[in-house]
Amino acid sequence: MALSSLSLTQFRNHEATRLQAGARFNVIWGDNGAGKTNILEAISLLAPGRGMRRAAIEQMARQQGPGGFTVAAALLGEDVRIGTGTASDSPSRRQVRVNGAAAAANNLADWLAVVWLTPAMDRLFLESAGGRRRFLDRLVLALHPAHARHAARYEAAMRERNRLLAAERPADPGWIDALEARMAEHGAAIALARADTLDALDLQIGALETGPFAQPSLALERKGPVEADALIAALRSGRSRDAAAGRALAGPHRDDLIVTMRQKGQAAALCSTGEQKAMLIAIILAHADLVAERRGSRLILLLDEVAAHLDPARRAALYEQLADRSGQVWMTGTDASLFDAVPLAGRADWCVSGGVVAAQARTISADQ
Ligand SMILES: Nc1ncnc2c1ncn2[C@@H]1O[C@H](COP(=O)(O)OP(=O)(O)OP(=O)(O)O)[C@@H](O)[C@H]1O
């Protein structure tokens, strides 16, 4: 799983960007606001979901453009081209194409698995469970491509049940039964995939050479039963409580990812910002190994401004760890010298300015 080329057309501040990707390392540098993260966000849209910024799709077309945008990529070593975007006459409807044919966004999980670290995730352990759940689900999705479909169907059934329970006129109980059965079926699949991912990941992290990176241990805090029958019973008995709350209070949509630093036995929220970042890095490195083992191919890592937040020793350790793995990595930073220690094999560098990308011949800075 890697991109051989990427094109952004009328996407954010990129009018027409075309990149021939490096098979291993893609280094993107430029000033603040240049359009670096926009490239990573574009790649994140080639997987199911709302992308790494979770932005509304109608915000993405270039404001100065004709409306509508396209992000497209060819996959390395495969005769496959995937793309997504909007048309100018329906800016809020996301379209997906695989080899030119219309496809459902969830089908993208069959082709590409993408995991990202962004500056916004520095607050992952401090904020509400939703962000941690989304992070976990992205890790799950890379191992269980059907996870996106289960999550979408679970959420659609839950939304409909919430609506019926809130309606002034009592709804047909048979219809609510059917929605709860659907929630239970997909909820059980979600729970199973999350449990499998966390168990495997926790083992993998134990085996990881983390070097200077803090080692996390992972667990799931559940807000409801796991098995389908028990979940149906909990939903049924909780109808009046859920109607009063205006939402379902039991179910995997309320799970939380609990991360603890192994060395100190300390909750991630109490660790330093650097330790939290290090644990996130350890999680995604272990996860990359797990995906390679299970799917036989490496996922794509998007590391937005990660290098700048590490001290030189940890930065070097990160590059070493990435070099030992074979997946494709896209990295951004404001200064080219941050990437001096990134191996040159399979590497491409770009400088971005005002949404215009220029390929860079690699130069070694004086202090290297
Ligand atoms: N729909 C849009 N149309 C045109 N420009 C946009 C659109 N959405 C965002 N932008 C512009 O994109 C730029 C931000 O790009 P991006 O987030 O990629 O910056 P960056 O290079 O990662 O910067 P930083 O180093 O500050 O994180 C901003 O100048 C913003 O105004």
Q: Is 35 annotated as a binding residue?
A: yes
Q: Is 36 annotated as a binding residue?
A: yes
- CA 283–ligand 1 middle distance (angstroms): 28
The model's pLDDT over 252-269, given as tens digits with 9 standing for 90+, comes to 999 999 999 988 899 999
The whole-number pLDDT of residue 153 equals 96
* 131 within a domain of the structure (yes/no): yes
The whole-number pLDDT of residue 109 equals 86
Do both 126 and 167 map to the same domain?
yes
Do both 233 and 183 map to the same domain?
yes
Per the structure, the count of domains in the chain is 2
Do both 28 and 131 map to the same domain?
no
* 57 within a domain of the structure (yes/no): yes
pLDDT at 363 over 90: no
Do both 276 and 317 map to the same domain?
no
CATH code for position 225: 1.20.1050.90
Do both 186 and 56 map to the same domain?
no
The whole-number pLDDT of residue 274 equals 85
To the nearest whole percent, how much of the chain has pLDDT over 90? Answer: 80
Is ligand 1 within 6 A of the CB of residue 59?
Answer: yes
Q: Is 31 annotated as a binding residue?
A: yes
pLDDT at 298 over 90: no
Do both 148 and 250 map to the same domain?
yes
Rounded to two decimals, the ipTM of the complex is: 0.98
The whole-number pLDDT of residue 365 equals 43
pLDDT at 352 over 50: yes
* 49 within a domain of the structure (yes/no): yes
pLDDT at 347 over 80: yes
Do both 134 and 243 map to the same domain?
yes
Taking all residues of the chain, what is their mean pLDDT, rounded to a whole number? 93
Best mutation site among 11, 31, 36, 70 for ligand 1 pocket (most ligand atoms within 8 Å of CB): 36
Do both 188 and 320 map to the same domain?
no
* 313 within a domain of the structure (yes/no): yes
The whole-number pLDDT of residue 253 equals 96
Q: Is 346 annotated as a binding residue?
A: no
Q: What is the pTM of this model?
A: 0.90
Q: Considering only residues 325 and 147, tell me which one the structure prediction assigns the higher pLDDT.
A: 147
To the nearest whole percent, how much of the chain has pLDDT over 70? Answer: 98
Do both 259 and 127 map to the same domain?
yes
pLDDT at 368 over 50: no
Look up the domain containing 157 and give its range: 122-298
* 353 within a domain of the structure (yes/no): yes
Q: Is 33 annotated as a binding residue?
A: yes
- CA 149–ligand 1 middle distance (angstroms): 31
The model's pLDDT over 18-54, given as tens digits with 9 standing for 90+, comes to 999 999 999 999 999 999 999 999 999 999 888 999 9
- CA 9–ligand 1 middle distance (angstroms): 15
Please report, as a single letter, which amino acid is at residue 245.
Answer: A
- Per-residue pLDDT band at 183 (split at 50, 70, 90): very high
pLDDT at 343 over 80: yes
Do both 143 and 81 map to the same domain?
no
CA of 30, closest atom in ligand 1: 21
Q: Is 99 annotated as a binding residue?
A: no
Do both 51 and 129 map to the same domain?
no
The whole-number pLDDT of residue 364 equals 46
* 184 within a domain of the structure (yes/no): yes
Do both 89 and 130 map to the same domain?
no
CA of 65, closest atom in ligand 1: 3
- CA 119–ligand 1 middle distance (angstroms): 14
Is ligand 1 within 6 A of the CB of residue 120?
Answer: no
> Which residues, at least 6 apart from 137, have a Cβ–Cβ distance to it below 8 Å?
147, 151, 194
- CA 281–ligand 1 middle distance (angstroms): 25
The whole-number pLDDT of residue 210 equals 72
pLDDT at 236 over 70: yes
* 19 within a domain of the structure (yes/no): yes
- CA 354–ligand 1 middle distance (angstroms): 8
The whole-number pLDDT of residue 173 equals 87
3 state SS of 51: coil
pLDDT at 204 over 80: yes
CATH code for position 331: 3.40.50.300
* 117 within a domain of the structure (yes/no): no
Q: Which of 257, 277, 298 is the last residue of a domain?
A: 298
Q: Which of 135, 99, 58, 148 minimizes the C-alpha distance to 302?
A: 135
